[in-house]
Amino acid sequence: MPGAPSPDELLDTAVEVARRAADTARRMRATGVDTVATKSTVTDVVTAADRAVEREVVEMIGRMRPGDRVLGEEFGAGNTGDDTGGAVRWIVDPIDGTVNYLYGLPHYAVSLAAEVDGVVVAGVVRNGATGDEWTARLGGGAYRAGRRLAGSPETDLGQALVATGFGYDPARRRHQAGVLAGLIADVRDVRRLGAAAIDLCLAAEGAVDAYFEKGLNPWDLAAGGLIAREAGLLVAGLHGAPPGHDLVIAAPPALFGPLHDRLAHHDAAGGP
């Protein structure tokens, strides 16, 4: 059995697995996409590639670190070998941005994070179409292509480009659109790019100034959330709540307070 893993070792494993998985997603996209099922609503699709990629991730981790636990978007919680009660849990979104993937938009990613005793210590997000890759280790910074990330230097919310996303449930989308309608006059502009994990990485590198979204699942947030935090962003919910299903705000310290207050005013964590 492998011994207690360091964040470095876990990141090496994560990167190796994510690269192979992203390659599988890209190759499968080139041969056409099969929608095999819907999940929470009729617009929440699952493709054959989502399942194949998650299966490949679980198999690779099982070979490299037998006994580690896995939480995946498509197959839920499981174990890669005998249940050793190991401390490491991998959190995987095989294709974040499934709707982009379905439409052939080159903006989807494999998101893979390693958690030790409930704390995310390593994470990678890899865009399957472009090969862009963001990584972070707890306490070790966030990187893209060898460049350390530090978020946006913007300090004025009125000048900020803010990314967000919408859930699949129509009632939730309506609420989210209302929040956005309230916010849009207070910021430079908004972006809805379609892959939460990449949104968090773009905020980490300052390609957008901030990001928020209600309704994220652990696999959307785990790797990108670490990458954003390690880039110096504050990543949290409203009123000191941890980031999670109710709301995730990821912003540089100077923007976090003003954005938080606008989002609280518009009840961004409320609604269905």
Site residues for ligand IPD per CB under 6 A: 73, 93, 96-98, 165-167, 194-196, 213, 215-216, 220
**Residue 73 or 205 having the CB closest to ligand IPD:** 73
Q: Give the whole-angstrom CA distance, residue 23 versus residue 118.
A: 29
Q: In angstroms, give the least distance from the CB of 70 to ligand IPD.
A: 16
Q: Give the whole-angstrom CA distance, residue 59 versus residue 126.
A: 18
User: Is residue 3 classed exposed, middle or buried when 0-12, 13-18 and 19+ CB atoms within 10 A define those classes?
Assistant: exposed
**Residue 38 or 159 having the CB closest to ligand IPD:** 38
**Residue 114 or 202 having the CB closest to ligand IPD:** 202
In this chain, which residue has its C-beta nearest to ligand IPD? 165
Q: In angstroms, give the least distance from the CB of 167 to ligand IPD.
A: 5
**Residue 7 or 164 having the CB closest to ligand IPD:** 164
Q: Give the residue from 159, 162, 153 showing the smallest Cα distance to 211.
A: 162
**Residue 68 or 93 having the CB closest to ligand IPD:** 93
Q: In angstroms, give the least distance from the CB of 117 to ligand IPD.
A: 26
Q: Give the whole-angstrom CA distance, residue 15 versus residue 195.
A: 19
Q: Give the whole-angstrom CA distance, residue 62 versus residue 189.
A: 44
Q: In angstroms, give the least distance from the CB of 229 to ligand IPD.
A: 18
User: Is residue 232 classed exposed, middle or buried when 0-12, 13-18 and 19+ CB atoms within 10 A define those classes?
Assistant: middle
Q: In angstroms, give the least distance from the CB of 3 to ligand IPD.
A: 33
